[in-house]
Each structure stands twice: as structure tokens, then as C-alpha cells.
Amino acid sequence: MAQKTNAMRWLEARGISYQAFYFSPEIHSAEGVAETLGVPARQVYKTLVVAPPEGRPLLVLVPGDRELDLARLGRALGVKKLRMATRREAEAWTGLQVGGISALALVHRGYPVYIDDAVLEEKEILVSAGRRGINLRLRVEDLIALTGARVVEATAD
């Protein structure tokens, strides 16, 4: 029987449809997930933890084929001096392992969530289910509504 995560149970309780994909938990990159699942990397979103100069860490979702541009994100948010959280910080703050960090799994923790505007070109994307080795495909509009994500320019073309 396939494992269910809290994020999956949470989606089901709200009647949100999704499709779960299981793969080796040894795969930690969005590009690796895309290759394994046979989908374009632009549809596999990675959830990055970003530390502002003060306040709560931010969760930023970006397509697997792009890199986060901290300066661009900072301009979009009106914040200077953003930095990537270290692996240790990201895992300590979220309680999840890098490669399994998920905005859906952390929705009750009150983290501000941002998603790169490239998402507006997709109907559905894949995101982590809150555990390495499990991604969920769901509609972009559902993900944005459920996480309260703000669409921002966070990557360069």
C-alpha cells in the first residue's frame, strides 16, 4: 500500500484532487524527479526556504528548470538582504528534510509562501508531498488558494 502524507490527507479532507507520484527518496533535486517521472522540469516545483533579515522564513516555490534570484525576489517583496537558508536551518525551521520540504505540509505553520510567476504558464504542477520520494500533481489554482501563495517574479528567464 502506498504511503500517505499529512499533506495528502489534508487535500483529501478538502476534496482537492491530486495525483501522487512515488520515486526513490535518494532523488533530492527537481531535475532528478522530472527525469525519473518523465515530465518537463518546468512542471516540478522545488520549495526553497529563504531567510529575510528579520521575521519568519519564507517558502518560495520555483520551477525545477530555473534558479531562484534572491535580488529579484527581494525587489518583488520590497526586502533587502534575503539569503538562502542553510540545509540545517531549513530542516530545523520546517521539521522536514531538504528534498521533502512542502508548502502543503507546512500550511498550518504560518510561513509566508511565494511562487514564481512562471507558474501562470501551467495548469498543473508537481510539488513535494512533505516527504522525500513523493510528489503531488495538482492544479495551480488549488495550490495557490490552499497555501495563500503570492505570485511573484522570483527567477530570471
DSSP string spanning 52-118? -SSSS-EEEEEETTS-B-HHHHHHHHT-S--EEPPHHHHHHHHSS-TTS--TTTTGGGT--EEEEGG
What was the pLDDT predicted at 5?
Answer: 93
How many domains does the chain divide into?
1
- CATH number for 49: 3.90.960.10
- Residues 14-69 pLDDT 10s: 999 999 999 999 998 899 999 999 999 999 999 999 999 998 999 999 999 999 99
Residues linked to residue 87 through DSSP beta bridges, in sequence order = none
Residue 1 lies in a domain: no
Average pLDDT, the chain: 95
